[in-house]
C-alpha cells in the first residue's frame, strides 16, 4: 500500500492525539492554548516542524506577546485531517551519544531484542570496536570471524557492490548480528584515502535493508569515522541520556554533529530524523534527577530535539513518554547475555525498553 508521507507525523501520533481530543479528557483540554513547543511534545513532532506548519498556514495560530499560540481545538482539527497519512519510515536506527556511560549499548541491545520479541526481523550491527553489544548478545568471539570492519575495508578496495551477508550471524529467530572486532579501531587510517569513505557503510547497510524490518546500529561513543558513517547510514537516531550535568555537554556536541550530517544527507535527497532523547538510569523522585529531567527537557526544546521522556515529574506515567529506570542488575544481565528488555530481575527497566520498542512498530507497519 502506498501512502502519502507528511514530515514526522505518523499514525501512532494521530491515534494518541485523537484519543486525547475525542476521549474523556476532551472537555478538559478544549479551551487550552498551547505554545508550539507544547504542541510538539503532545504530538511527538519536532518544534521546528510545528512552526513550519504554522508559518505555512496549515496549523491555525495567533501571535501573543511575540510567540505563537495554538488553540487545542484548532490542533484537534489539524490532526483530524491527517488520519490516512503516514510519517517517515523508521527502519535503520542509530543509537548514539558522544558521551560514554549513558546506557547507549544497554539501550541498543535491549531495543534490538525487544523488537525481535515483537516479531520484527531485526539486525544488530555493532560499530563499537569494544564489542560490548557483540558480547552481550552471546556471540563467541574466540573463533576467527568477519567483522563489520572487514566488510567496510573490502568495500573500500573492491569495485563490486558491497555485501554484508558473509558477516551476518544468526543469534536467534528474528535477531541477527554483525559483530564488532577490536581491529576496527584502525579503520580511519586503513580506508582514509578512499573517496567518500564516510558513505561506505550507508551502501553496505542499504544493500541488506530489504531483508529486515529494523536495523539497530550501536555507535561508538567517540566521533570517529565509524560514528559518522553510522549516522549517515541511519534514517533515525535515538539518543540515550542520563540526567546529569556532565552528560548534557555530550548532548550539545551531538546536536551540532547531527545538524551537519542532516545537511549532508539532504544533499542526497535523504533524511535523518532524530526520534528523540530518552532518559536512562533514572532514579525517579530524587531531587537530582527531577532537576536534570527538567533541564534536559528545556535543552531539547531549545535545540529542536524531541524529548521522548517526560519533561516533568507529573507526566512520567503518560504512555506517550518513556524513560528507563536505574537497574542494579545491568552487569549481571550483561554477564548472562540477557538483554535488559528480557531480564526479569530488572522488571521496571525491562518493561520500559519493551515500551520503547513498541513505539517504533506502528511507523514501520504503515510501509509494508
Give 93-102 pLDDT, tens digit per residue: 999 998 888 8
Which three cell numbers, joined as nine digits, stand for 66? 511575540
- Note whether 239 and 277 are within 8 A (CB): yes
Q: What pLDDT shows up at residue 100? A: 84
- Average pLDDT value for residue range 239-248: 84
In the chain, what are the domain boundaries?
11-80, 92-365
- CB-based contacts of 232, cutoff 8 Å, min separation 6: 198, 199, 201, 202, 261, 264, 265, 272
Give 105-119 pLDDT, tens digit per residue: 999 999 999 999 999
Q: Residue 256: in which H helix or E strand, if any?
A: helix 245-266
d(CA 124, CA 136): 11
Residue 154, SS3? helix
Q: How much is the pTM?
A: 0.73
3-class SS letters over 163-201: CCHHHCEEEECCEEEECCCHHHHHHHHHCCCCCCHHHHH
Residue 2 reports pLDDT greater than 60? no
Neighbours of 234 (CB within 10 A): 28
Give 262-282 pLDDT, tens digit per residue: 999 999 999 999 999 999 998
Q: Maximum distance among all alpha carbons in the chain?
A: 66
Q: What pLDDT shows up at residue 129? A: 92
- Note whether 169 and 209 are within 8 A (CB): no
Chain centroid, CA 21 distance in Å: 27
Q: What pLDDT shows up at residue 4? A: 32
Q: What pLDDT shows up at residue 327? A: 87
What burial class does residue 196 get, using C-beta atoms within 10 Å of its C-beta: 0-12 exposed, 13-18 middle, 19+ buried?
exposed
Phi then psi dihedrals of residue 278, to 5 deg:
-120, 130
- Note whether 309 and 302 are within 8 A (CB): no
Q: What pLDDT shows up at residue 109? A: 96
Give 68-92 pLDDT, tens digit per residue: 999 888 887 777 654 433 445 669 9
Q: Dihedral (C-alpha) 156, 158, 160, 163: value to the nearest 10 degrees?
A: -60
d(CA 169, CA 177): 5
d(CA 63, CA 129): 51
d(CA 197, CA 203): 10
d(CA 272, CA 107): 20
Nearest to 292 by CA among 312, 321, 274: 312
Stretch among 10-14, 30-34, 107-111, 246-250 having the lowest mean pLDDT: 10-14
CA atoms within 13 A on the CB side of 318: 19
- Note whether 147 and 183 are within 8 A (CB): yes
Q: What pLDDT shows up at residue 89? A: 61
CATH top-level class of 11-80: mainly alpha
**What's the pLDDT band for 6 if we cut at 50, 70, 90?**
very low
Nearest to 127 by CA among 17, 25, 229: 229
**What's the pLDDT band for 188 if we cut at 50, 70, 90?**
confident
Residue 249 reports pLDDT greater than 70? yes
Beta-bridged to residue 124, according to DSSP, are: 177, 216
- Average pLDDT value for residue range 153-168: 85
Which three cell numbers, joined as nine digits, stand for 240? 540515550
CATH architecture of 92-365: 3-Layer(aba) Sandwich (3.40)
Q: What pLDDT shows up at residue 12? A: 42
Give 288-315 pLDDT, tens digit per residue: 878 888 888 888 888 888 899 877 777 7
Amino acid at each position: 500500500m502506498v501512502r502519502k508521507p507528511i514530515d514526522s507525523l505518523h499514525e501512532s501520533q494521530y491515534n494518541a492525539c485523537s484519543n486525547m481530543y475525542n476521549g474523556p479528557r476532551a472537555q478538559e483540554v478544549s479551551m487550552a492554548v498551547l505554545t508550539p513547543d507544547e504542541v510538539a511534545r503532545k504530538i511527538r513532532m519536532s518544534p521546528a516542524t510545528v512552526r513550519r506548519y504554522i508559518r505555512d498556514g496549515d496549523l491555525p495560530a495567533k501571535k501573543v506577546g511575540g510567540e505563537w499560540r495554538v488553540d487545542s481545538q484548532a490542533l484537534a482539527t489539524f490532526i483530524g485531517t491527517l488520519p490516512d497519512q503516514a510519517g517517515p519510515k523508521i527502519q535503520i536506527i542509530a543509537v548514539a551519544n558522544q558521551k560514554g556511560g549513558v546506557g547507549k549499548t544497554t539501550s541498543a541491545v535491549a531495543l534490538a531484542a525487544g523488537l525481535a520479541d515483537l516479531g520484527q526481523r531485526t539486525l544488530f550491527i555493532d560499530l563499537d570496536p569494544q564489542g560490548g553489544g557483540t558480547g552481550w548478545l552471546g556471540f563467541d568471539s574466540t573463533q576467527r570471524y568477519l567483522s563489520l570492519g572487514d566488510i567496510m575495508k573490502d568495500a573500500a578496495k573492491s569495485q563490486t557492490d558491497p555485501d554484508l551477508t558473509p558477516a551476518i550471524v544468526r543469534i536467534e529467530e528474528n535477531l541477527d548480528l554483525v559483530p564488532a572486532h577490536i581491529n576496527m579501531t584502525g579503520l580511519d587510517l586503513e580506508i582514509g584515502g578512499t573517496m567518500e569513505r564516510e558513505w561506505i557503510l550507508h551502501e553496505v547497510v542499504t544493500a541488506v535493508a530489504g531483508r529486515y524490518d529494523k536495523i539497530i546500529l550501536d555507535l561508538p561513543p567517540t566521533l570517529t569515522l565509524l560514528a559518522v558513517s553510522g549516522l549517515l547510514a541511519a534514517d533515525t537516531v535515538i539518543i540515550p541520556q542520563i540526567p546529569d550535568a556532565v552528560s548534557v555537554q555530550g548532548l550539545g556536541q551531538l546536536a551540532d554533529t547531527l545538524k551537519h550530517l542532516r545537511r549532508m544527507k539532504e544533499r542526497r535527497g535523504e533524511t535523518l530524523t532524530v526520534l528523540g532523547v530518552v532518559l536512562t538510569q533514572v532514579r525517579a523522585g530524587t531531587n537530582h534527577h527531577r532537576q536534570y529531567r527538567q533541564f534536559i527537557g528545556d535543552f531539547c526544546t531549545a535545540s529542536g530535539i524531541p524529548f521522548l521522556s517526560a519533561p516533568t515529574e507529573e507526566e512520567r506515567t503518560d504512555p506517550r513518554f518513556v524513560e528507563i529506570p536505574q537497574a542494579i542488575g545491568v552487569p549481571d544481565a550483561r554477564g548472562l547475555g540477557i538483554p535488559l528488555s528480557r531480564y526479569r530481575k530488572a522488571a521496571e527497566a525491562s518493561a520500559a525498553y519493551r515500551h520503547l520498542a513498541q513505539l517504533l512498530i506502528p511507523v514501520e507497519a504503515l510501509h509494508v
